[in-house]
A and B are shown apart, each in its own frame.
Chain A
Amino acid sequence: MICQYCDFVKNREGLVYEDGTAAILLHKSPAMPGHLLVLPKEHFTIIEQTPDPVVRKLAALANKASASLLQVLGAGGTNVVIENGTGAQQQVPHLAINVIPRVEGDGINLQWQPRKLSEEQMSLIELQLKEQTKSLGVEPEKKEPIKLDEEKERAKGEVVKKSDYLTKQLRRMP
């Protein structure tokens, strides 16, 4: 498969930063000079496919990129944009965080037309999204406490077994 960003990273074209998991490229046809792309070295098309540790790394690097743009290029601000999926005008099928330096009056317009939805529509969307986000923040960790509890349970069980010695005997009877 041919991927432009994989090639750029491999050939070190426009590479301004690199570590084990991520790279930062200078955009070839930027919105502004200094427009950076923070991307994983491994090929992932969209953020949903990207493992959490990699996402974490990219986020931290996006911050670093913003800070550098302000410091080095004297930008007045930055935009951080992910075009995630073809519906979002993603051009290259490789996840990238755009970090765009901005100055007052640079003529770039990334704003959208705000809409107004009816209360019913908003409520419906709220419910639909909540249904999907229910499982989000649940982290399947905390192994130790569970183990301890289990042991307690088991210990309890044994006590119960001993004390129920008589009833057990009863149960065994036909």
Chain B
Amino acid sequence: MEEPDISKMSPSEIEELQRKNCVFCHIASGKVPARKVYEDDSCLAVLDINPASPGHMLLMPKEHFTVMFQVPEQLIGHVFIVAKGLSQASLQALQGKGTTIFAANGTAAGQRAPHFMLHIIPRMAGDNIGMYIPSRALPEKEAAQVAAALSAALGGKVATAATTKAGQKISSSGEEEPKGKKETVIDATVVREEKAAGENSTKEESAKEEVHAEESEDLDALTEFLARSNASDKGGGAGGGKK
């Protein structure tokens, strides 16, 4: 078998190759048999052949997406509503005491197959499956910085309330002149570009600003950003826009 040279391929070609080699795409199209427990137009749930517990289901969109945050808003909403139904189904069918609903995005998070899926794992008390989410103490200063940066990026309606609080704590490093309430409304696109260019300096600045961002537009841009960086990682920096 000949190995295609990935470094010479465009991002779209790489995607095509991934799709062709994706076992879960083959399951979705019926080429590979699986124990299907649910199917509709856009998604599919099968039993995991090596389950964490009896009834461990894999719920996935039929279309190929590598990670969850690439899935469009409409579809991910649908997937989670189906997950709710499957969770309920497993509670009723298997008399469980709960379900763990789990997704891994990226190999750093333990993802193995490059096709986004939600694991729905029926749980019993004392089933020894593990999956404990560890916890650690987070220093207040670090927490405030993280909160400020994230609330700026998330651009919620009331981000300012959280950020001003945090902003006071980190203001020791880089003072901003206006003490009076000079509300500057930055266009979301500007913030994004600034972030992409020089991260550190803009983080604190943008944290202090009220960012009015159209939610979906923001998400689209981020997804696009990620897709681009993904592609260039795999393609060894091959030129982006070759279609």
A residues touching B (Cβ–Cβ < 8 Å)? 12, 14-19, 24, 26-31, 33-34, 36, 46-48, 50, 52, 55-60, 62-73, 75-90, 98, 100, 102-104, 106, 108-117, 121-123, 125-126, 128-133, 136-137
Contacts and interface: CB of A to CB of B under 8 A. Distances in A.
Given A56-B81, A77-B104, A63 B68 contact: yes
A72 B80 CA distance: 25
Contact of A113 (B92, B129, B226): B129
Contact of B47 (A79, A116, A125): A125
Nearest to A78: B105
Q: Ordered nearest first, which 4 A-B pairs have the shortest CB separation? A: A85-B98, A77-B106, A87-B97, A76-B108
Contact of A81 (B45, B96, B102, B129): B102
Q: How large is the interface on B (under 10, 10 to 19, 20 to 34, 35 or more residues)?
A: 35 or more
Contact of A55 (B81, B107, B135): B81
Interface of B: 35, 37-38, 40, 45, 47, 49-55, 57, 67-69, 71, 73, 76-94, 96-111, 121, 123-125, 127, 129-138, 142-143, 146-147, 149-159, 161-162, 195, 203, 215, 218-219, 222-223, 225-226
A78 B69 CA distance: 10
Contact of A63 (B73, B83, B125, B142): B73
Given A18-B156, A87-B125, 16 more contacts: A19-B156, A31-B133, A55-B81, A56-B81, A59-B79, A64-B69, A66-B105, A67-B219, A77-B104, A82-B100, A88-B99, A111-B131, A125-B54, A132-B89, A133-B45, A137-B82
